[in-house]
C-alpha cells in the first residue's frame, strides 16, 4: 500500500510495474539489465480518489494521462531497479498530493477610478509628445 495523505492510500493492485531496458549511456549494464521502471496507475478506476482530485490529477498529469484514464510514469535515472521503482512511486505520490490541494478561486477586480484617470492622462501626454514630433510647417 502506498500512503499519500492521511485520507488517501493507494492499494498495490492499482499499480502495475513493468521493468524495461534503459536508454542512454551505461555501457554493458544498460544492454543486459532491465533497470528502468514503467509505473502505471489506474487513476480513473481508483476507488480511493475523490472525483475532484481525479479531475485536478488529469490536468496535472498532462500527457502522462492515457486515454484509458491511467497515469504512466517512466523512471530510468538510477542503475538500480529498486531505486528507480522507489523514485517512480514517490513521483506518483507527489503528483497526487499536488492534486489534493484545492486552488484558490480568483475574485475579479475592477481598476480604481484614480488609476483609470492616471492611465488616460498618461495616454494624452504621450499622444501630445508624438504630435509634436510632426513637421512644423510647410516651406515653399
Q: Report the CATH number at residue 57.
A: 3.30.160.20
Question: What mean pLDDT is predicted for residues 77-88?
Answer: 85
On whether residue 65 sits in a domain, the answer given is yes
Convert the pLDDT of each residue in 22-49 to its tens digit.
776 666 666 667 778 888 988 888 888 8
Per the model's pLDDT, the better-predicted residue between 90 and 80 turns out to be 90
Q: How far is 24 from 2, CA to CA, in rounded Å?
A: 30
Under the banding of pLDDT at 50, 70 and 90, the label for residue 118 is very high
In this structure, is residue 77 part of a structural domain?
A: yes
Q: Is 106 among the domain residues?
A: no
User: Would you say the pTM of this structure is higher than 0.75?
Assistant: no
- Which residue bears the cell 485536478? 56
Domain membership of residue 53 as a residue range: 2-100
C-alpha to C-alpha distance for 134 and 140, rounded to whole angstroms: 17
Residue 63 belongs to a domain = yes
What whole-number distance in Å separates Cα of residue 83 and Cα of residue 112? 56
CA distance 12 to 5: 16
Of the candidate ranges 7-16, 26-35, 41-50, 71-80, the one whose mean pLDDT is the lowest: 26-35
Mean pLDDT, rounded, for 47-75: 87
State the SS3 of 29-67.
HHHHCCCEEEEEECCCCCCCCCHHHHHHHHHHHHHHECC
- Asked whether the beta carbons of 65 and 41 are under 8 A apart, the reply is no
Residue 121 lies in a domain: no
Domain count, the chain: 1
Cα–Cα distance between 71 and 63 in angstroms, integer?
A: 9
Q: Are 9 and 53 in contact (CB under 8 A)?
A: no
Residue 83 within any structural domain of the chain:
yes
Assigned domain for 88 exists: yes
Q: Give the residue with greater pLDDT, 27 vs 17.
A: 17
Longest dimension (CA), the chain: 92
The confidence score (pLDDT) of residue 139 equals 59
Residue 138 lies in a domain: no
Amino acid at each position: 500500500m502506498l500512503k499519500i495523505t492521511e485520507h488517501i492510500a493507494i492499494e498495490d493492485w492499482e499499480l502495475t510495474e513493468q521493468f524495461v531496458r534503459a536508454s542512454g549511456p551505461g555501457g554493458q549494464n544498460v544492454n543486459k539489465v532491465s533497470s528502468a521502471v514503467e509505473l502505471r496507475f489506474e487513476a480513473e478506476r481508483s476507488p480511493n480518489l475523490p472525483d475532484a482530485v481525479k479531475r485536478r490529477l488529469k490536468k496535472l498529469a498532462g500527457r502522462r494521462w492515457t486515454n484509458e484514464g491511467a497515469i504512466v510514469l517512466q523512471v530510468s535515472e538510477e542503475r538500480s531497479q529498486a531505486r528507480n521503482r522507489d523514485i517512480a512511486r514517490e513521483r506518483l505520490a507527489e503528483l497526487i498530493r499536488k492534486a489534493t490541494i484545492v486552488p484558490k478561486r480568483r475574485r475579479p477586480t475592477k481598476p480604481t477610478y484614480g488609476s483609470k484617470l492616471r492611465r488616460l492622462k498618461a495616454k494624452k501626454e504621450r499622444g501630445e509628445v508624438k504630435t509634436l514630433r510632426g513637421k512644423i510647417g510647410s516651406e515653399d
